[in-house]
Amino acid sequence: MTRLCLPLPLLLMALLMAGGTARAQDAGGYAASFLRRELMAREIAMAGVFTPFAAGGSALFSNSSALARLERPIAAVTYSYLPSGQELYAAGYGHGIGRFAGVSVGMTGYGVGNVRSYSADEKPLGTIGSRDLAFSLGGGLAIGPGNVGATIRYLRSGPTGIDGGYSGYTLDLSGSLDIDERFFFSLAMNNVAGEMKGPREIAPWNTRIGGAYLYSLDERNDTMRIDPSGTPMTRHLAPRAYILGVVEARTAAYSDAPRWSFAGEWVPLIQLSLGVRAGFSTQGDVSAGFFYNLPVDFTRDLRFDVATRRDFEYGELSYHATLTAGF
């Protein structure tokens, strides 16, 4: 009986997203295009793939449905150094509400400077830059073994060196499923709706659907519990040593063909608190990274993630670091 109801949350999300995609495809340029880039070092090291298993800081920005399964409050800060003097950074906080819901707040920033500008007759006018900000509020709700979520963002751009700018908002919808705590599925539609005011009218939408298989190297169980739908469940604690394989397909407003990404994560030993990751995409991205749980006393879980990626868009390496704390 449980298996028959598994697809329901994702089916509802798919119907909502189908309508949202049509709304997002209005004519116009792309505002806040930095929102199409992944933020967390974990996702970047895995070729941009999101997985609901141990989502951590990624739940704050990539798929808010995973907030419903937060086992403890989390805070995360991340920084990306991109080619051509660009930088991308973010900070967020997520908190569970009971056992079956969660909320988050976050801030994302993008900056680029020292861009040379010229007049119509190609005379140099000096340098300009751009500073973009996005403030987000997200929430997730668990429904049986599935989750649904939504995130709304307020966007603000402030070009430096010239007058002007724009503001607006965007909406993300997401869903995820956990089958037997071994198979994980995720679905997200980002920037499905919104309004921008300024020289560029819309934020670029993208749809992500992914799956993962978890092979546990240790088993830990918890007592049986009842969720709001009345479905009895035996809760298995997340393994501390495992092998994770993931795949994700992405289609977007700025891409002519779907992008497929394949990646893996391996945590070999319980005692080591160290894991490695790697992935590649059909667009040409190749990435790798690792994480380490820092041995500190003031928080239950302090994780440091790093990643590097040969970025298809830039043709160069980018570097990324994330610090996540669980309380």
The pLDDT of residue 278: 98
Q: What value does the CA radius of gyration of the chain take, rounded to a whole number of Å?
A: 20
Q: Report in angstroms the alpha-carbon separations of 241 from 203, 216, 267, 277, 307.
A: 39, 6, 5, 14, 20
Please state, in angstroms and rounded to a whole number, the distance separating the CA atoms of residues 316 and 142: 40
Domain interval for residue 28: 3-326
**Beta pairing, strands 74-82 & 86-97:** antiparallel
The pLDDT of residue 106: 97
**CB–CB of 82/309 below 8 Å?**
no
Residues whose CB falls within 8 Å of the CB of residue 87, separated by 6 or more in sequence, listed in order:
79, 80, 81, 110, 111, 112
Q: Tell me the sheet residues that pair with 89.
A: 79, 109
Angle at 68 between CA 63 and CA 71, to 5 degrees: 110
Domain count within the chain: 1
Question: Is the entire prediction scored with pTM above 0.85?
Answer: no
Secondary structure class of 11 (helix, strand, coil) = helix
Which DSSP letter does residue 231 get?
A: -
CATH code, domain carrying 74: 2.40.160.40
The pLDDT of residue 286: 96
Please state, in angstroms and rounded to a whole number, the distance separating the CA atoms of residues 305 and 91: 14
Secondary structure class of 51 (helix, strand, coil) = coil
The pLDDT of residue 288: 98
Residuewise pLDDT in 10s, the chain (327 residues): 333 333 434 433 443 343 343 333 333 345 566 778 899 999 999 999 999 998 888 999 999 999 998 888 999 999 999 888 889 999 999 999 988 999 999 999 998 866 565 556 666 666 666 788 999 999 999 998 899 999 999 988 766 555 566 788 899 999 999 998 899 999 999 988 877 776 556 677 889 999 999 999 887 666 555 556 666 666 667 788 999 999 999 998 877 789 999 999 999 988 888 999 999 999 899 999 999 998 887 777 899 999 999 988 888 999 999 999 998
261 CA to centre of own chain: 14
